[in-house]
Amino acid sequence: MARTFGLEVMPAIGPKRFSFSEIKNATNDFTDKIGRGGFGDVYKGKLSDGRVVAVKCLKNVKGGDAEFWAEVTIIARMHHLNLVRLWGFCAEKGRRILVYEYVPNGSLSQIQSPDGQKPILDWNIRYRIALGVARAIAYLHEECLEWVLHCDIKPENILLGDDFCPKVSDFGLAKLKKKEEMMTMSRFRGTPGYVAPEWTKADPITPKADVYSFGLVLLEIVSGTRNFEHHNSKVESDQWFFPAWAFDKVFKDMNVDDILDPQIKQSLNRMVKTAMWCIQDRPDARPSMGKVAKMLEGTVEIIEPKKPTIFFLSEE
CA–CA dist 86, 16 (Å, integer):
9
Question: Shortest CA distance to 214 belongs to which of 258, 157, 267, 297?
Answer: 157
3-state secondary structure of 214: helix
Q: Which of 32, 152, 210, 284 is catalytic?
A: 152
Q: Which amino acid is at 209?
A: A
| Residue 252 assigned as binding residue | no
Contact 45, 27 (CB under 8 A): yes
CA–CA dist 190, 175 (Å, integer):
16
Task: List, in sequence order, the alpha helices (H) in the chain.
Answer: 20-26, 65-76, 108-112, 123-138, 179-189, 208-223, 242-247, 269-278, 289-297
**Residues 194-233 as b or e (16 or more Cβ within 10 Å = b):** bbbbbbeeeeebebbbbbbbbbbbbbbbbbbbbbebebee
How far does CA 163 lie from the centroid of its chain?
18
152 is catalytic: yes
Residues that are catalytic: 152
Could you list the residues known to form a binding site, using ranges: 56
Could you list the residues known to form a binding site for ATP, using ranges: 56
